[in-house]
Amino acid sequence: MNLLVIGLVLAGYIVPVALCARSQCRHEGFFHCLGLVRIPVSAAAIAAACGCALGWCSHLAIRASGIETGSLNPASIAGTVYWLVQAWMFAAVPEELLFRGALANRLVRRLGFAAGNAAQALAFGITHYWSWLYSDADNALVLAAMDIGILFLLGWTCGYANLLLGKSSIWPGIIIHGFANTVLLWVG
């Protein structure tokens, strides 16, 4: 894992915690400020189904574009655990804390739901562009645009689910994001 990825993961955990430690969130409570509020089991189940569907749709879009990807299919249980930790703890949780817990909550308060959710989703999609900067593919720009579009959809859906299903909890987004990553890793 390169230093940029490690830095982004750490930022995903540190920035939201630092923002919520500031005085503006003290009246809400630390975990509420982060969006880590309990949700009903039914909301978690709906989020898991949405995540699987988004992961599968993303897989179909990637496959239709002709990109060659490998699938998870590890040879061992340890390999499976490794990739699941990558999908959830190094991607879903820190990205949801950062983009939906810290950024979206503030943007929605300032801009309203439609503009705030779209802005955080766009930021989420654009931050994933860097992975294509190092690509030697002839169509890297097209792939980056497709990636940003898919990730905008994922980010917007997570923001919408957090409001609709989670009553401002980020757990639906974490579940959607984690299951989408898991499906993408599994079916490659």
According to the model, what pLDDT value does residue 125 have?
85
Residue 125 to residue 144: CA distance in whole angstroms: 9
What tokens does 153 get? 């959809």
What tokens does 90 get? 């190094």
DSSP 22: S
What does the pLDDT look like over 25-37, one tens digit per residue?
Answer: 666 777 777 788 8
Residue 91 to residue 25: CA distance in whole angstroms: 25
Domain of residue 133: give its range: 3-187
- Answer for the pair 87, 178: CB distance below 8 angstroms, yes or no: yes
What is the pTM for the complete model shown?
0.83
Which residues, 6+ apart, have CB-to-CB distance to 64 below 8 Å?
none
What total of structural domains would you count in the chain?
A: 1
Q: What are phi and psi of 30, to 5 degrees?
A: -60, -55
Residue 108 to residue 106: CA distance in whole angstroms: 6
pLDDT band at 10 (very low <50, low <70, confident <90, very high): confident
What does the pLDDT look like over 36-74, one tens digit per residue?
Answer: 889 999 999 999 999 999 888 888 877 776 666 555 556
